[in-house]
Structure 1
Amino acid sequence: MFKKPIVLNGKAPKFVQIQEDLINKILNYDILYDDKIPSETELMTYYNVSRHTVRMALLNLQKENFIRKEHGKGSFCNYIADKGHESKTILVLTTYISDYIFPFVISGIEKELTARGYNMMVACTQNDKIKEAQILKNLLTQNIAALIIEPTRSADPNANSALIQELQNKGVKVIFLNAEYSDISAPFVRLDDEKLSYDLTKLGINLGHKSIHGIFKKDDLQGIRREAGFFKAIEESENLENYRTVTYTTVTKHIVPLDYVKTQIKNNTHPTLFICYNDEIAVDVIRAINECGLKCPEDISVLSFDDSTLAYTSSPNITSVVHPKEKLGKLVASNAISMVEDNAKLENIILTSDISIKKSCINIYQ
């Protein structure tokens, strides 16, 4: 789109022509929301103009909220184009997009929205509340029908409550994914994290493990609920010799679990089973076990959540709770459409699932 230079031959000043050309590209879906705008140097070459002319055009586009500038990163499209008067665009705002299980969830959302004639826009917060605030502020000027939002660090106070409520006051339907903000009146679709953690912990106990440690994330509700399910199963069991949990945050996820496991092994206080918040952590735990000269599951077993591709590529394959990724995506998309088309007040949906048994946890009794 920006590869072959064009000639500006209109009567208007060149910066105005550049501005109008970029707006047309945005309105015609050539540039989508959150797409990176070419650099000033690239635009100078494309339009055959000076840097000053490019900067004038970009400054005007920023003032009109068609683009936004991010320090050290460049300019990004800040406008969600929509062809109709009534918006058929639903924005999906997740903590991440391309990592872990998120592509499968987003794929489920996209399939349902496309089948029902809706456009999908995707943005991510990178689990950063400041980034979440920036995106929500930008949405206030856009024409969207609904917002599917995965809360950012959902166990922490909701700093962006007013922005979400302002969107609702404008008529934007809001539905939560994976967790929820308790101070916002909106339905959610999520897993029954507490029950699934209870089931996973019970599996370990039934396999004879009496020394069990849990590793859980403390800045999102999934982690809080999974830790609660862990302790519920522990409290119902007898004759356990050693049990405890350690928690970490988004920032420390690749530091605290590794250090904890290595310290436990070094001090010879390690359990026979680690129950991990998700497969990413489980992979790190298995690596720590190996680096300490022990083996999984012969010396220490591991159980986990999400049954992601990591559970199958890890050695050993990890026994993990199955996350109904695409199903979850389709459900939240279908409910978002019902809210838009029927103004429906929906009940919350809490999904359960199964455990995929693989090779990371041994039976102590055998």
Structure 2
Amino acid sequence: MKKKAPKYVQLAEWIKEKISEEGLERGEKFYTEHSLTQMYCVSRQTVRKAINLLIKEQVLESRQGSGTYISSPMHIKKRSSKIIGVIVTYFNEYIFPSIINGIESVISSNGYNMQLASTRNDVENEARALRSMLDSGVDAFIIEPTKSALPNANKNLYDEISNKDIPLIFLNSYYPEMDFPHVALDDVRAGYLAVKHLIDNGHKKIALCLKSDDIQGHLRYKGAIAAANDSNIAISVENVLWFTTEDIKYFEEDSNRMIRYLKGCTALFCYNDQIAAKVIKILGEKGYNLPEDCSLISIDDEKQAVACSPALTTIAHPKELLGIEISESIFRLIAGEKCDNVLFEPELIIRNSVKEYNK
């Protein structure tokens, strides 16, 4: 017959459960001996023996004249919620439904649920989503950064995630100052392939239309400039139109701006298919005949790319495959394994929007 554990050992186990249930973190002050005697209806001697045992196990630490604290390193893990917090900029449009389908397929097959939030690329929305998920006790985070090219407005919340050792992986981009892994399209390579394709088709005067508040725009610019440099072609700053998230809704209203940046160019590289579709509409209304008057290439290979006239030559985004990869990565992090950054190799999809330029 198995001998029953001494009372103080049982109490030590109860205390561990309480630390876990309340999500107490390293450095937090723990209950006093008097409080514990009342909570568990045991003697002070039993409490002291249980605390001494937990100090030996490095669960608690005693600070003379101050009290008892949760120890560092922390050996008690918070009880699993079986929930992964997923924060994306958008979730019901463009490439995002496919990404989320990939994420959900892996999360559900591992017996977890997904808590989903959209920021609409707004830092205040991101802060609310982070705070809500931290308070609800999600096990891990998959996050598409908001305005990733700008200084991180929610660094305090990301620091809290880091200090609590909650696994986190970035989707599509990353905050340069944050030390979390990311899974994304290789945006530098994508920008390179896009502009190289234009150059290979005889275009030497190329305009760029790129997003300034997300780091993907800067990486795609880097790739575009590298392709031009490798071919001894200069892309003038006068032909580089930078726009923000807030500018998108005014794109068609401010159509003359696009025409100014296109001046003298025979081809245009757009940030993504969504923007390229708007540009096609603007140019059509201004009397341009595409691709004869201006060749066009973009990134993502979204449904709009085929629906456009002309159909867009574009760089494919991995979409659902990316969602699957990032979910598998988050479970490796949950298991305590190390995860490196993953960059998907871009693929050029040739359609009708790029015409060979022979002049």
Letter in structure 2 aligned against 1:258: S
User: 2 CA distance for matches of 1:304 and 1:120?
Assistant: 31
* Structure 1 ranges of 4+ moved more than 4 A: 239-243
Give the 5 Å matches for 1:160-199.
Answer: 160-199=154-193
Residue of structure 2 in register with 1:259 after alignment: 256
Report the AA paired with residue 288 of structure 2: L
> Which amino acid is the alignment partner of residue 148 of structure 1?
I
Partners of 1:95 and 1:151 within 8 A in 2: yes
The amino acid that maps onto 1:222 is: Q
Aligned length: 279
- Which of 128, 133, 137 lines up with 2:131 in the alignment? 137
The aligned amino acid for 2:157 is L
- Post-superposition shift, 1:85? 4.2
Matched, 1:93 2:87: yes
Match of 2:290 in 1: 296
Give the Cα separation in 1 of the matches to 2:348 and 2:316.
6
State the match for 1:249 in structure 2.
244
8 A contact 2:84–2:141 mirrored in 1: yes
Q: Match of 1:189, as an amino acid?
A: V
CA distance in 2, matches of 1:138, 1:94: 14
Match of 1:103, SS? Answer: helix
Shift of 1:147: 0.5
Aligned: 1:229 with 2:223: yes
Q: Structure 1 183/242 Cα, relative in aligned 2: closer, same or farther at 3 Å? A: closer
* 1:282 counterpart letter in structure 2: A
- The Cα shift of 1:245 comes to 1.1
Instruction: Output one character per residue of 1:95-120: Cα deviation in whole Å (capped at 9) or x when no partner.
Output: 11111101110010001111121111
Matches within 5 A, 1:1-366: 85-238=79-232, 244-255=239-250, 258-264=255-261, 269-340=263-334, 342-365=335-358
- 1:175 is paired with a residue whose SS is strand
**Deviation digits for residues 188-214 of structure 1 (CA, Å, limit 9, x no counterpart):** 101110111111101100100111100
RMSD across aligned positions (CA): 1.9
Paired residue secondary structure (2:161)? helix
SS of the residue corresponding to residue 197 of structure 1 reads helix
Tell me, in whole angstroms, the C-alpha distance in 1 between the residues paired with 2:264 and 2:296: 12
- Give the TM-score of the pair, scaled to structure 2: 0.74
Q: Conserved in 1, the CA contact under 8 Å of 2:228 and 2:235?
A: no
Query: How far 1:241 moved relative to its partner?
Result: 8.5
Shift of 1:240: 5.8
Kindly state the Cα deviation for residue 329 of structure 1 after the two structures are TM-superposed: 0.4
Q: What CA distance in whole angstroms lies between the structure 2 residues aligned with 1:293 and 1:161? A: 47
Q: Distance in 1 between matches of 2:218 and 2:230?
A: 19
- Partners of 2:143 and 2:236 lie apart in 1 by 39
Following the alignment from structure 1 to structure 2, what is the Cα–Cα distance between the partners of residues 238 and 154? 31
**Distance in 2 (alpha carbons) for counterparts of 1:93 and 1:181:** 14
Q: Rate the CA distance shift 1:278–1:156 in 2: closer, same or farther, 3 A.
A: same
Deviation digits for residues 214-247 of structure 1 (CA, Å, limit 9, x no counterpart) = 0000000100101111111112223668673110
CA gap of 1:271–1:336, structure 2 versus 1, over 3 A, is same
- The structure with the larger Rg is 2
Question: Secondary structure in 1 aligned to 2:135?
Answer: coil
Counterparts of 2:114 and 2:256 in 1: how far apart (Å)?
41
Name the CA distance, whole Å, in 2 between partners of 1:323 and 1:292.
30
Structure 2 residues not aligned, in runs of 5+: 1-77
2: CA distance, partners of 1:361 / 1:254: 26
Cα 1:346–1:242 shift into 2, 3 Å = closer
CA separation in 1, counterparts of 2:281 and 2:82? Answer: 46
Structure 1 unaligned blocks of 5 or more: 1-83
Q: Secondary structure at the match of 2:242?
A: strand
CA distance in 2: counterparts of 1:240 and 1:139, whole angstroms? 47
Quick check: 2:196–2:227 contact (8 Å CA) kept in 1?
yes
